[in-house]
Amino acid sequence: MAYLFTSESVSEGHPDKIADQISDTLLDNFLAFDEDSKVACETLVTTGQVVLAGEVRSNTYLDVQNIAREVINDIGYTKGAYKFSGDSCGVISLIHEQSQDIYQGVDRGEKEQQGAGDQGMMFGYATNETENYMPLALDISHKILIELAKLRREEKDITYLRPDSKSQVTIEYSDDNVPQRIVAVVVSTQHDDFDQDDDAMLKKIKKDIVETLIPRVKKQLSEDVQNLFDDNIVYHINPTGKFVIGGPHGDAGLTGRKIIVDTYGGKGAHGGGAFSGKDPSKVDRSAAYAARHIAKNLVAAGVAPEILVQVSYAIGVVEPTSIFVDTYGKSNVNLSNGEIAKKVAEIFDMRPSAIEKRLKLRNPIYRETSAYGHMGKEPRFLTKIFESPYSGKVTKEVELFTWEKLDYVEKVKEEFGL
């Protein structure tokens, strides 16, 4: 019997994502001026206020208040009507030095002997149902909101959009896990107050989403995926009605509260640890990226059409405590999941320092991960400029989303005889 599967995304203007972006931008600035910085930075946003908290060990000092304000303005919270603006909000910093008890277990004389920054399990997932090896419902959900943000910034076709929004896509699958059609699309977008009555306002928003936004999204998709859109899709556009009050004024936001949006939209699994604001010594982040890198390269090499990778660590211990692989019974190689996992451990060095080096994680690359998902984006090079009133100006050439590279496919094929 056919089944339905749903994933959601949230925009860069969603309160939780504002918090993630502030935390990751602070992390980037610490790493830009001191690549050995240890950072665990949390952010709270609410009406007119930002609270920064967490632990940092670094040789640099930052104007964290100004950095937070710049992020908020860049997202689009620049008007008093939003009850939250980068120019007028209060910013309180409660950041303090990292615990020596944690530091002594992580930092070692030889970087290769660096221990994991925490215990826990991390997951990576990949599927061949999309070109970027991501679950389809999540991929479309992200694309809807990325395009909606572009429309907001263009201020041409649709001029009433505000930064806060959410999307959700439901797809019908056949028994053999092949997408058949898109059943429902949900888009809730914050907007300016309308002079006209609520019914007319809602009709205009729905018309603009269905007739302007969705066609722009469809153009970015493969022909097979475009064919999943038909006239029977149920669109729920701002289903509660008016959505003028939004952002941190409508809902408080916290770092790390959108971990399923950040990863695989409910497909695969999640170990529970958030990413944003954490430097790569925190395996919650670095090992999750490494597990995605493994899963994606295994699927691209043809080991299986869908793969889940789990890795676990003990705080302060160099080697992972376990590596697990699940091919969902669809393996193309004559090996058990345990045998596949053993080969994975031989191909990929999963010590924390090795992950940092392989994926170039001690670079200021994290602001770009903090909205619309940490996985599934195109690897690319970018020049970034950082300025500090205390440390001057530094320019960094960085490579983004290294864990999305298919640079181990040939090695995997060789090891598995594919």
Query: Does residue 113 surpass a pLDDT of 80?
Result: no
Q: Is 236 a catalytic residue?
A: no
Q: Is 284 a catalytic residue?
A: yes
Q: Is 243 a catalytic residue?
A: yes
Q: Is 16 a catalytic residue?
A: yes
Torsion of CA 17, 18, 21, 22, to 10 degrees: -140
Would you say 242 is a known binding-site residue?
yes
Among 220, 246, 272, identify where a domain stops.
246
User: Residue 201 has what pLDDT?
Assistant: 85
Query: Does residue 93 surpass a pLDDT of 90?
Result: yes
Structural domain that includes position 205:
3-9+136-246
Would you say 42 is a known binding-site residue?
yes
User: Residue 240 has what pLDDT?
Assistant: 86
Q: Are residues 236 and 144 in the same domain?
A: yes
User: Residue 378 has what pLDDT?
Assistant: 97
Q: Is 258 a catalytic residue?
A: yes
Q: Is 17 a catalytic residue?
A: yes
pLDDT category of residue 363 using cuts at 50, 70 and 90: very high
Q: Is 282 a catalytic residue?
A: yes
Torsion sign, CA atoms 256, 257, 258, 259: positive
Q: Is 257 a catalytic residue?
A: yes
102-to-61, 110, 214, 298 alpha-carbon distances in Å: 21, 17, 48, 34
Q: Are residues 406 and 284 in the same domain?
A: yes
User: Residue 107 has what pLDDT?
Assistant: 59
Q: Are residues 378 and 313 in the same domain?
A: yes
Would you say 267 is a known binding-site residue?
no
User: Residue 102 has what pLDDT?
Assistant: 46
Would you say 57 is a known binding-site residue?
no
Residue 223 lies in a domain: yes
Q: Are residues 328 and 405 in the same domain?
A: yes
Would you say 165 is a known binding-site residue?
yes
Q: What average pLDDT does the chain have?
A: 93
From the candidates 8, 12, 42, 147, which is the catalytic residue? 42
Residue 160 lies in a domain: yes
Q: Residue 198 belongs to a domain with what CATH number? A: 3.30.300.10
Would you say 38 is a known binding-site residue?
no
Distance CA 333, CA 418 (A): 8
> What is the reported pTM?
0.94
Query: Does residue 391 surpass a pLDDT of 90?
Result: no
Torsion sign, CA atoms 115, 117, 121, 125: negative
Q: Which residues pair with 386 in a beta bridge?
A: 394
Q: Are residues 124 and 150 in the same domain?
A: no
Mean pLDDT of 168-186: 96
User: Residue 245 has what pLDDT?
Assistant: 84
Distance CA 305, CA 104 (A): 42
Query: Does residue 229 surpass a pLDDT of 80?
Result: yes
User: Residue 110 has what pLDDT?
Assistant: 61
Among 12-26, 74-88, 373-387, the minimum mean pLDDT is found in 74-88
Residue 338 lies in a domain: yes
From the candidates 16, 24, 208, 279, which is the catalytic residue? 16
From the candidates 83, 152, 191, 257, which is the catalytic residue? 257
Summarize pLDDT for 122-149 with one digit per residue, the tens: 999 999 999 999 999 999 999 999 999 9
Mean pLDDT of 242-270: 93
Would you say 258 is a known binding-site residue?
yes
Q: Is 55 a catalytic residue?
A: yes
> In percent, how much of the chain has pLDDT > 90?
84
Q: Are residues 124 and 180 in the same domain?
A: no
Q: Are residues 215 and 314 in the same domain?
A: no
pLDDT category of residue 101 using cuts at 50, 70 and 90: very low
> In percent, how much of the chain has pLDDT > 70?
96
From the candidates 53, 184, 252, 269, which is the catalytic residue? 252
Would you say 282 is a known binding-site residue?
yes
Summarize pLDDT for 306-320 with one digit per residue, the tens: 999 999 999 988 999
| Token pair belonging to 193 | 């107050």
Residue 58 lies in a domain: no
Number of domains in the chain: 2
Q: Where are the alpha helices (DSSP H) in 209-330?
A: 214-218, 223-226, 247-250, 259-262, 283-301
From the candidates 5, 243, 386, 416, which is the catalytic residue? 243
Under a CB-based contact definition with an 8 Å cutoff, are residues 247 and 82 in contact? yes
Q: Are residues 291 and 408 in the same domain?
A: yes
From the candidates 34, 35, 55, 399, which is the catalytic residue? 55
Residue 255 lies in a domain: no
Would you say 8 is a known binding-site residue?
no
pLDDT category of residue 343 using cuts at 50, 70 and 90: very high
Backbone angles phi, psi at 252, to 5 degrees: -65, 150
From the candidates 270, 282, 296, 351, which is the catalytic residue? 282
Residue 42 lies in a domain: no
